[in-house]
Amino acid sequence: MSAPAPLAGTTLAPPVLLEGPKGTELQRLGRPVTRPWWTSEALLHDEGREQLRAVHGAYREAGAALVTANTFRTNVRALRRAGADEELSRTLVRRAVDDARAAAGDGASGTRRVPVAACVTTADDCYRPDLTPPDDVLAAEHGWLVDRLAEEKADLVLAETMNTAREAVVVTDLCRRAGLPVWVSFVCREGGRLLSGEDLGEAARAVAAAGAGAVLVNCVALADLDAALDALAAARPGPIGAYPNLEDRSGIEEWTPVNRYVPVACPPQEFADLMAGRIERYGLDIVGGCCGTTPAHVAALHGRLAPDGLSGGAPS
C-alpha cells in the first residue's frame, strides 16, 4: 500500500499529531493564564519564554508532528485590552514564532525540522459568538495578525476555537491572500453544532470553499465529540480532524475559563485508545487534545499509532 499523501500546504502525511495546549502546561507551572494577557503573559518575560520553549520541547519529544506558536492571544483586540502598543504587539508575535521555530529544530545535530504552525482565534471571546464583530472589523483585526505571521514566515495557520462560520471564512480568506496554508477548527456544543447554533457541516463546506486545507473540531467535550464528528465526516470537505477538551470541569460553569489548573477527565492511555478509535471510525487526518491535554497524552497517542505504522505525521 502506498504512503498517504501529505496534507495540502505541508510535508505532513496523516494522521498528523498536534501539540497540546500551552495554557494547561503554563498553569501547571504556576503561571497566570487570565485576562487581559492570557497565555501571552509568558511572552513578556525571559522566565515565561523559557517555560514555553520547554513546553514546546516536551510535546515534540512526545511525538507531536509540528510546533504550534503561542500566538493564540496575540491578536489586536486582546493586546489592546492588555495595554500593548504596536511595537510591543509586534514583538510578542515575533517572540512566539521565534520560540516555536527554535523548538521545531533547524537540522543541526541530526534534528529534523518540523513545521511551525501559528494560532489565530476569534477576535473576541472564543465562547461568545454574540460578540463577533462586523466583517470589516474582523478583516482589519485579523488582517493585522495574519500579516505579522506571514512576515515571521510561519509555515501554517491553525485558526482554532472558531465559533461562527462568518468569522472563520474571513480568517481563511485572509490567510490564503497572504499565501499561508490554513486549517480551520470549530468549537461545538452538544448535537454537533457551532456555539453560534450553525450547522457544522455547512460551516465546514464554507471554509473549505474559501481555501481551508483541513477542517477540525476542538475544545469539544468528550461527551459531544461523536456528534460533532458525525456531522464533520458527513460533510467531508477534505481532510478532517479533532482535538477535544480533556478537562474534568465538574462544578465549573460551562464555557467559563478559570485561572487554575483543572485536572483531566481522561487519562493518557484512555485518551489514546479513544482517539485511535476515532481515526478508524471517521478517517481523521489530524488528531490531538485541547485543554487538559499533557505531553503524556500526546506520547500515549503517538505510541498507540506507531505500531500500525502511523507515526504521527512524519514528512513524506
> pLDDT 10s per residue in the chain (316 long)?
456 888 877 889 999 999 999 999 999 999 989 999 999 999 999 999 999 999 999 999 999 999 999 999 999 999 999 999 999 999 999 999 999 999 998 645 445 689 999 999 999 999 999 999 999 999 999 999 999 999 999 999 999 999 999 999 999 999 999 999 999 999 999 999 999 999 999 999 999 999 999 999 999 999 999 999 999 999 999 999 999 999 987 877 887 777 777 788 999 999 999 999 999 999 999 999 999 999 999 999 999 987 554 444 443 3
User: Distance between CA atoms of 22 and 39, rounded to whole angstroms?
Assistant: 7
Identify residue 143 by its one-letter amino acid code: G
Whole-number pLDDT of residue 307: 58
Whole-number pLDDT of residue 309: 42
Where on the phi/psi map is residue 191: left (φ > 0), alpha (ψ -120 to 50), or beta? Answer: left
Angle ∠(270,255,66) on CA atoms, nearest 5: 55
Q: Which of 127, 140, 203, 151 is nearest to 174 (CA)?
A: 140
Whole-number pLDDT of residue 144: 98
Q: Domain boundaries in the chain?
A: 22-237
Whole-number pLDDT of residue 112: 65
Identify residue 40 by its one-letter amino acid code: S
Q: Are 81 and 36 in contact (CB under 8 A)?
A: yes
Whole-number pLDDT of residue 67: 97
User: Distance between CA atoms of 215 and 208, rounded to whole angstroms?
Assistant: 7
The mean pLDDT of the chain is 92
Beta bridge partners of residue 245, listed in sequence order: 221
Whole-number pLDDT of residue 252: 77
* CATH code for the part of the protein at 22-237: 3.20.20.330
Helix (H) or strand (E) holding 161: strand 156-162
Whole-number pLDDT of residue 300: 98
CA 92 to each of CA 24, 43, 179: distance values in angstroms, whole numbers, following the listed order:
20, 6, 22
Any residues with CB less than 8 A from the CB of 73 and at least 6 apart, and which? Answer: 37, 38, 39, 40, 79, 121
Whole-number pLDDT of residue 44: 98
Sign for the CA dihedral angle at 86, 89, 90, 91 comes to positive
Residue keyed to cell 504556576? 30
Whole-number pLDDT of residue 2: 59
Whole-number pLDDT of residue 293: 97
Whole-number pLDDT of residue 257: 78
How far is it between the farthest Cα atoms of the chain? Answer: 55
- Give the pTM: 0.93
User: Distance between CA atoms of 35 and 57, rounded to whole angstroms?
Assistant: 26
Whole-number pLDDT of residue 314: 41
User: Distance between CA atoms of 42 and 96, rounded to whole angstroms?
Assistant: 10
Whole-number pLDDT of residue 1: 47
User: Distance between CA atoms of 27 and 261, rounded to whole angstroms?
Assistant: 5
Beta bridge partners of residue 264, listed in sequence order: 247
